[in-house]
């Protein structure tokens, strides 16, 4: 009998219309696309449609019930999973040939869910182990929190947004004293005049014609390149390569015997996966993670041993920094939650990413 997991979903919003969805790849069905039907327990494996934008053949909107109520759902082993929540309206998921699941998007202005209030958390459940995290890599909207009670050890919690979290993030992004203030303000997405979500600079970049914050990091990058043309940058890969050292030579940040990094653009820094950060071969993977994390946190000018000597209280102190990430961490009850792709890079051993993991005895996900 294949393993399953019961998950409790709790509605702490003020709405009677809250829906949950579960998506991912079913590990016991050759990684096939899997959703859970509206009964909260029956797996649904969509057929291969002949046309793009085909609607699901099954209802996969799991109603959560009245505020304060808890619903238990059952899932099979899933990789790359998400638990989605929407308030007020159901979400629209579509299928393309493959089959490929077309998920709700915050960067496509024609997406059918663009004016709906929704959010999600991420998880993988395999071999009776679960790893789950709240994610703000794309945007912030609804408070989602996690509580995992493992079969051994204390309960692990990720507390999520403060009650006024979205409002304070939006107010911070609209601060006229920020560098490139007009561009940061465009990270606030409004629907019918109300703040619906705060977009990460990467998401806002694509929603605004790929013109946002284009030269934002240029001066900071130049200062970093100047610093490390005279000094060495030490990076602990926390992997087989151990601690490696690099210097700027011939315009490139060079780690001898490993590889080089050209100067990144602002978009390369916010997205963490383009330009000089496109390759994750060998040691370039952990180097990319640690260097992009240091750029987003603006610690490269003050800390020359990454990430070990970086202290959380010293992140985001430069006026050129990822202000979205700064505001997101400040707006969370425990300061945790993925705010850029490599926010799980630890500084001085402190987790910023907001995850729980272990062999689950009980797992509670709360919306609101």
**Segment 216-257, tens digit of pLDDT:** 999 999 999 999 999 999 999 999 999 999 999 999 999 999
| Residue whose pair of structure tokens reads 């490269």 in the numeric block | 300
**Alpha-carbon torsion 127, 43, 71, 12, what sign?**
positive
Q: In angstroms, rounded to a whole number, what is the distance separating the alpha carbons of residues 77 and 188?
A: 36
Number of structural domains the chain divides into: 2
Question: Within 10 Å of residue 37's Cβ, how many Cβ atoms?
Answer: 16
Tell me how far apart the alpha carbons of residues 304 and 234 are, in angstroms, rounded to a whole number.
6
pLDDT digits (tens, 9 = 90+) for 269-297: 999 999 999 999 999 999 999 999 999 99
Q: Same domain for 223 and 279?
A: yes
The model's confidence at residue 165, banded by pLDDT at 50, 70 and 90, is: very high
The reported pTM is 0.95
Please give the residue range of the domain that contains residue 304. Answer: 218-319
Same domain assignment for residues 42 and 95? yes
Q: Is position 188 within any domain?
A: no
Mean pLDDT of the chain: 96
Residues 38 and 114 in one domain: yes
Same domain, 157 and 236: no
pLDDT for res 231: 97
Q: What is the CATH number of the domain that holds 149?
A: 2.60.110.10
Q: What is the pLDDT of residues 92-120, one digit of tens each?
A: 999 999 999 999 999 999 999 999 999 99
The helix (H) or strand (E) run that includes residue 54 is strand 54-55
Q: Are residues 152 and 257 in the same domain?
A: no
> DSSP string of 172-202?
HHT-TTSTTHHHHHTTEEEETTEEEEEE-HH
Phi, psi for 20 (deg, rounded to 5) = -120, 150
Cα–Cα distance, 250 to 248 (Å, whole number): 7
Residue 363 is predicted with a pLDDT of 98
User: 246 in a domain, yes or no?
Assistant: yes
357 and 303 within one domain = no
């Amino acid at each position: 009998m294949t393993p399953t997991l019961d998950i409790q979903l709790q509605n702490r919003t003020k709405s009677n219309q809250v829906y949950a969805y579960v998506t991912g790849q079913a590990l016991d069905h050759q990684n096939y696309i899997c959703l859970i039907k509206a009964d909260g327990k029956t797996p649904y494996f969509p057929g291969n449609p002949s046309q793009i934008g085909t609607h699901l053949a099954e209802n996969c909107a799991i109603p959560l019930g009245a505020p304060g109520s808890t619903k238990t759902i059952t899932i099979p082993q899933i990789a790359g999973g998400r638990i989605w929540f929407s308030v007020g309206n159901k979400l629209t998921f579509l299928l393309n040939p493959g089959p490929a699941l077309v998920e709700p998007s915050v960067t496509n202005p024609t997406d059918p869910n663009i004016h709906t209030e929704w959010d999600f958390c991420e998880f993988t459940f395999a071999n009776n182990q679960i790893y789950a995290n709240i994610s703000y890599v794309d945007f912030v909207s609804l408070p989602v929190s996690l509580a995992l009670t493992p079969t051994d050890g204390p309960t692990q919690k990720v507390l999520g947004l403060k009650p006024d979290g979205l409002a304070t993030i939006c107010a911070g992004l609209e601060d006229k004293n920020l560098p490139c203030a007009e561009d940061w303000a465009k990270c606030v997405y409004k629907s019918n005049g109300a703040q619906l979500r705060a977009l990460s600079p990467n998401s806002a970049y694509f929603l605004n014609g790929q013109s946002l914050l284009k030269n934002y990091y240029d001066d900071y990058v130049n200062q970093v390149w100047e610093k490390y043309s005279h000094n060495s940058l030490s990076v602990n890969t926390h992997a087989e390569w151990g601690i490696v050292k690099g210097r700027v030579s011939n315009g490139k940040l060079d780690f001898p015997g490993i590889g080089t990094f050209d100067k990144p653009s602002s978009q390369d820094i916010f997205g963490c996966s383009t330009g000089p950060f496109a390759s994750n071969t060998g040691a370039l993977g952990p180097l990319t993670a640690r260097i992009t994390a240091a750029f987003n946190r603006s610690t490269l000018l003050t800390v020359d041993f990454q990430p070990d000597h970086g202290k959380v209280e010293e992140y985001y102190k430069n006026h050129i920094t990822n202000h979205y990430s700064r505001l997101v961490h400040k707006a969370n009850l425990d300061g945790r939650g993925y705010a850029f792709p490599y926010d799980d890079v630890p500084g001085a051993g402190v987790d910023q990413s907001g995850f729980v993991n272990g062999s689950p005895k009980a797992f509670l996900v709360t919306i609101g």
